[in-house]
């Protein structure tokens, strides 16, 4: 590994000149610049990140906090990560992956005390997320995917829940559905501070009101069985329902089973729209699922972009954004069947 001193010697200049040609923060004559560059090339020089970081107090490392031991991770998490990593790289940063639980503030403190990390990206943010509190107090720049409710003016990217609900219901309404069931997460999940469930609930109710649709909300455990049973009950008690909107990916598989068990078919009798689902899941389902989801790669990129901007310019303005969902119509939605109480049980 060649060092800056090697380059300087070879180019016949001082070390600082080499440094400045690299950073460009002070004028360098064309002649010298060329000599330095040539020397770098010949020596296959590349700056040492540790030394640079130590001297400049800028490590160029961003930590991605992605708690992995939680509730079953889903595939869009990977998209977020991939997008954030790509964006980081383009901006000249490296991305550290930190996977301990949301509650592990000691670990987080240890990480940030090392002086290795310039900024942090938070994923799987919860209502009142302790990490947000810690990072704010510690004065460490961060940006989050999702909201905790206490970020203040810190940057974040979150789902536009209202838009997502509206798009889903508008799609159903446009093809004739009038009564829709909303399969949400379980109450215990909501209570654990998984804010998504609550926000989605409100958004659905608002959108249904605006579109004058009948909305039946069902809280459901994230299991096959729960979903299946939920539908059977639903179809008995609310036979007028012709469409289902779900944020509960796990339960949804069961719902489809419940529909089949009830002697009904998707989308002939019941249409389904999945919210915030990964493309993977939507496309490998049978039938494939119509979805409304904000593109995960956009969320990942934006969150990283905001953080980098904070790091480099100190600006925090306009760095809070709600990403609208994107409706992708697949096989699970179709025109509403005429409301004539088709066989159930």
Partner DNA sequence: CTGTTAGCGCATTCAT
Partner DNA sequence: ATGAATGCGCTAACAG
Stretch that binds its own copies, among 25-33, 83-91, 121-129, 264-272 (CB under 8 A): 83-91
Residues 6+ away with beta carbon under 8 Å from 201: 182, 184, 190, 217
Stretch that binds DNA, among 6-14, 254-262, 281-289, 335-343 (CB under 7 A): 6-14
Nearer to DNA, 54 or 209 (CB): 54
Which residue do the tokens 């409304």 mark? 292
Task: Return the one option of DNA, its own copies, none that residue 17 interacts with (CB less than 5 to 8 A, by type).
Answer: DNA
From 9, 10, 22, 262, residue interacting with DNA (rule: CB under 7 A):
22
CA torsion 128→149→326→275, rounded to 10°?
40
Pairing of strands 326-328, 290-293: antiparallel
Find the binding residues for DNA in span 101-160 (CB under 7 A). Answer: 115
* Euclidean distance between CA atoms 8 and 17, whole angstroms: 8
Closest distance of CB 214 from its own copies, Å: 29
Q: Tell me the per-residue interface mask from 39 to 58 with its own copies, x by CB under 8 A, - otherwise.
A: -------xxxxxx-xx----
From 14, 26, 38, 75, residue interacting with its own copies (rule: CB under 8 A):
75
Report residue 133 CA to chain centroid gap. Answer: 20
Stretch that binds DNA, among 1-9, 79-87, 188-196, 325-333 (CB under 7 A): 1-9
Q: How far is CA 208 from CA 31, 98, 234, 242, 323, in A?
A: 69, 40, 18, 14, 20
List the Cα angle 155/309/61 in 5-degree steps.
Answer: 95
Nearer to its own copies, 59 or 291 (CB): 59
From 9, 32, 136, 192, residue interacting with DNA (rule: CB under 7 A):
32
CA-wise closest residue to 207 among 225, 180, 230: 180
12 is a site residue for DNA (CB under 7 A) = yes
Q: Whats the size of the chain, residue-wise?
A: 345
73 is a site residue for its own copies (CB under 8 A) = yes
From 17, 76, 271, 291, residue interacting with DNA (rule: CB under 7 A):
17
Binding-site ranges for its own copies (CB under 8 A):
1, 46-51, 53-54, 59, 61, 64, 68-69, 72-73, 75, 77-78, 81-82, 85-86, 89, 94-100, 107, 110-111, 113-116, 224, 250, 253, 257, 280, 284, 286
Binding-site ranges for DNA (CB under 7 A):
1, 3-5, 12-17, 19-20, 22-23, 25-29, 31-33, 45, 47-48, 51-52, 54-56, 115
């Amino acid at each position: 590994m060649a060092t800056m001193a090697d380059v300087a010697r070879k180019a016949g200049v001082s070390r600082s000149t080499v440094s400045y040609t690299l950073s460009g923060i002070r004028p360098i004559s064309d002649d010298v610049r060329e000599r330095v560059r040539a020397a770098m090339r010949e020596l296959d020089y590349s700056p040492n990140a540790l030394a640079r970081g130590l001297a400049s107090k800028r490590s160029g490392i961003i930590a991605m906090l992605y708690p992995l031991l939680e509730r079953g991770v889903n595939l869009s998490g990977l998209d977020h990560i991939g997008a954030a990593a790509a964006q980081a790289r383009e901006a000249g940063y490296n991305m550290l992956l930190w996977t301990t639980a949301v509650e592990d503030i000691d670990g987080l403190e240890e990480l940030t005390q090392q002086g290795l990390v310039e900024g942090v990206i938070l994923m799987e943010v919860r209502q009142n997320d302790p990490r947000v509190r810690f990072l704010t107090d510690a004065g460490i720049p961060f940006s989050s995917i999702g909201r905790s409710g206490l970020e203040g003016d810190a940057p974040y990217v979150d789902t536009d829940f209202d838009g997502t609900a509206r798009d889903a219901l508008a799609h159903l309404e446009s093809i004739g559905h009038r009564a829709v069931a909303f399969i949400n997460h379980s109450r215990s999940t909501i209570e654990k501070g998984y804010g998504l469930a609550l926000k989605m609930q409100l958004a659905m109710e608002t959108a249904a009101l605006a579109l004058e649709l009948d909305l039946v909300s069902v809280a459901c455990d994230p299991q096959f069985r729960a979903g299946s049973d939920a539908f059977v009950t639903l179809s008995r008690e609310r036979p007028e329902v012709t469409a289902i909107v779900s944020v509960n990916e796990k339960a949804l598989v069961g719902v489809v089973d419940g529909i089949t068990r009830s002697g009904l078919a998707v989308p002939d009798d019941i249409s389904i729209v999945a919210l915030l689902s990964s493309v993977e899941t939507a496309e490998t389902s049978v039938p494939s699922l119509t979805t409304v989801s904000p593109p995960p790669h956009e969320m990942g990129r934006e969150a990283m972009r905001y953080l980098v901007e904070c790091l480099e310019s100190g600006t925090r303005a306009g760095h809070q954004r709600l990403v609208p969902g994107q409706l992708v119509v697949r096989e699970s939605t179709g025109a509403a069947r005429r409301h004539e109480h088709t066989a159930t049980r």
